[in-house]
Chains A and B, each alone.
Chain A
Amino acid sequence: MALLEVHDLVKLYGRSKILDKVSFTLGKGIHGLIGPNGAGKTTTLKVLLGLTNANAGNVRIFGLDVPKESERVLERVGVLHENPRLPSWATGRQFLRYVASLKHASSAEEILNAARTADIDYALDKSIGVYSAGMTQRIGFAAALIGNPELIFLDEPTANLDPLGRIDIWNRVKELQDEKGVNFVISTHALFELEKVCQDVVILHQGTVLDQGTIEELTARYSALEYRVRVDNSTLLISDFSKSKTVQTAEAQDGEVVVSVRNPEVFFRELSRFIQETKSNLTDIKSCRFTLEDIFVEAFRRKLKE
């Protein structure tokens, strides 16, 4: 059974369409929800949590209908909103106790474990009002962990954290998935960090799903394959490749020619022909790894071309 199913979701704010027939299905694991600003990521999360009503379409989480059965869904779900605003008058411990009491998980040990996992146990007796932005983020993360959730929604989970804190949060996410089987849906712009933990990605653009797939599938779909070629006559090589049908782009960068290709076999044939014809020296050739950011950029480049 799918963990989360979204069908033809439409959301209007006034006359503007924020979500336009958004559909995707997610199974177990860590999933990324990515897209540029205004793509509809946060609105999608709000609809998934029953915080905002969709104008059309339906959402099922654990097979339960949202928003009709939101309360039952939320008992099994943890949430960390973007830039969380939490009750500044309460201490971290009071706040976690309150969250725990609504999630039928009021044992002190469980609260402490969640705080330890989020690395905020040292400040539990301080008022949230004196927390730094990073500490607030961590106590919000701890709150999301309470009640042994099966699925956790994280919206920009590392937005206010320092580099070490960011690494730490991603490690915790990976550990929770590996050790406890907790599933995640993560909306973030930190693609470089996300790709280290997530299995698949939904790319949103202007309220529609631009693409969805595992990192491997998307890499195969968008990539190309990018090579860095070092030859002694790079200008001539760029000019030669401009006539090629398999080379998508070729540009000079730091004394190398960065070439994006469709078909590697054809590319290598054309490269060897060029070397033979021009008697150039090939000093180095490297295959570049395609990152999630590259996939993201390439997906948008193609969309714009359409």
Chain B
Amino acid sequence: MRKFVRVVAWELKNIARFPIVEVLLALLVFQVMSSTLVNARSISRTYFPFDEFPQGLMLSDLVRQIATDLAGAFISTSFIGVVSATMLFSYQYETGLTKFYMSLPIKRTNFFLAKLLACFLVPFLMLVAVGCTAELFLNPVSVLFLFSAPMVLARALLIIGEMVLFVIAVSISLSILSHNTAVSFISSLAILYGLTLVSGSIGVPILPPASFSQGLWSFLFYSQRDFWSTYPGWTGAGTLALTPTVTLILLVVSYFYFSRRLNL
């Protein structure tokens, strides 16, 4: 366990080479600006499924604001997630650092999990920080609401975690399977942003970030019964189950390849 914690701390230091605080501030500015613009409806924006939700629900405008802001921040923090995963997996492999690290007495399983956790923590904490700060700035009432209902906050964090893990899983699997920094970085971004566009164009929020905003909405404000009655069939099930399923498959494949078959 001590070794695991050491590796996580070491990899977090590695990621911290990036100007995280500056990126955080830039994201925040971007977030505030985009949220303001979206609210003003002066520009077209990504498809968000709750546009079609019945109006008149309690606090619906407030939640709509939270979900919109976090979904927007998610797209930006995905970039950081992809950078972290690519750097810790394919870049280290390509430069021979993985070979050195694996010559130290640590199990491949622990090494993989430590890197996964480090990759996850950075975008997760950034997303939470950007989301909370943006909300505080844009709509202080929503923050009060989140903290007055701890279960709602926990659910929101759960969904944020699930979505960030999806991004990391895509990037890690591409990094490990391609062994190439450029390929994994470009293809991860292409896939993630491609999904956004596809979700928007076909109007089915199966995978993040469209499913993220829908997930937030449904988790925060619909009871399970309401959720299923509003979204019957595979689309609703997909929102809840498809993202973690895809994430799990990608991570399991990556883990087995990394621990059993990766030749350094």
Q: Which residue of A lies closest to B106 (CB)?
A: A102
Cβ-Cβ contact count across A and B, 8 Å cutoff: 61
Cα A86 to Cα B96 in complex, Å, equals 8
Interface string of B1-37 (1 = CB under 8 A from A): 0110011001001100100000000000000000000
CB distance from B86 to the nearest CB of A (A): 16
Interface string of A39-55 (1 = CB under 8 A from B): 00000001001111100
Residues B99 and A71 in contact, CB atoms below 8 Å apart: no
Q: Which residue of A lies closest to B104 (CB)?
A: A102
Instruction: Given A53-B261, A86-B100, A102-B3, decide whether A74 and B10 contact each other with a Cβ distance below 8 A.
Output: no
Instruction: Given A53-B261, A98-B6, A101-B6, decide whether A85 and B104 contact each other with a Cβ distance below 8 A.
Output: no
Residues of B within 8 A of A87 (CB): 14, 97
CB distance from B96 to the nearest CB of A (A): 4
> CB within 8 A of B104: which of A74, A83, A89?
A74
Cα A74 to Cα B100 in complex, Å, equals 12
Count residues of A near B (Cβ-Cβ below 8 Å).
26
**For the complex, is A81 an interface residue (Cβ under 8 Å from B)?**
yes
Residues of B within 8 A of A75 (CB): 105
CB distance from B101 to the nearest CB of A (A): 9
Residues A51 and B103 in contact, CB atoms below 8 Å apart: yes
Instruction: Given A81-B96, A85-B95, A86-B97, decide whether A53 and B103 contact each other with a Cβ distance below 8 A.
Output: no
Cα A50 to Cα B262 in complex, Å, equals 11
Interface size class of B (residues with CB under 8 A): 20 to 34
**For the complex, is B102 an interface residue (Cβ under 8 Å from A)?**
yes
Residues B97 and A71 in contact, CB atoms below 8 Å apart: no
**For the complex, is B183 an interface residue (Cβ under 8 Å from A)?**
no
Residues B264 and A46 in contact, CB atoms below 8 Å apart: yes
**For the complex, is B263 an interface residue (Cβ under 8 Å from A)?**
yes
Query: Which residue, of A49, A72, A98, has the highest number of chain B Cβ atoms within 10 A?
Result: A98
> CB within 8 A of A71: which of B6, B105, B260, B263?
B105
Residues of A within 8 A of B13 (CB): 89-90
Q: Which residue of A lies closest to B94 (CB)?
A: A85
**For the complex, is B45 an interface residue (Cβ under 8 Å from A)?**
no
Q: Which of chain A's residues 3-34 have a Cβ closer than 8 Å to chain B?
A: 13
Residues of A within 8 A of B102 (CB): 49-51
Residues B14 and A89 in contact, CB atoms below 8 Å apart: yes
Interface string of A56-100 (1 = CB under 8 A from B): 000000000000000110110001010111110110000000110
Residues A74 and B103 in contact, CB atoms below 8 Å apart: yes
CB distance from B166 to the nearest CB of A (A): 28
Instruction: Given A81-B96, A102-B6, decide whether A71 and B264 contact each other with a Cβ distance below 8 A.
Output: no
Residues B263 and A103 in contact, CB atoms below 8 Å apart: no
26 A-B pairs within 8 Å (CB atoms) are namely A49-B102, A50-B102, A51-B263, A52-B264, A53-B263, A71-B105, A72-B105, A74-B103, A74-B104, A75-B105, A79-B100, A81-B103, A83-B96, A84-B100, A85-B97, A85-B100, A87-B14, A89-B13, A89-B14, A90-B13, A98-B6, A101-B2, A101-B6, A102-B6, A103-B105, A140-B100
Q: Which residues of B contact A (CB under 8 A)?
A: 2-3, 6-7, 10, 13-14, 17, 95-97, 99-100, 102-107, 260-261, 263-264
Q: Which residues of A contact B (CB under 8 A)?
A: 13, 46, 49-53, 71-72, 74-75, 79, 81, 83-87, 89-90, 98-99, 101-103, 140
The 4 closest A-B pairs by CB, nearest first: A74-B105, A85-B96, A51-B264, A75-B105
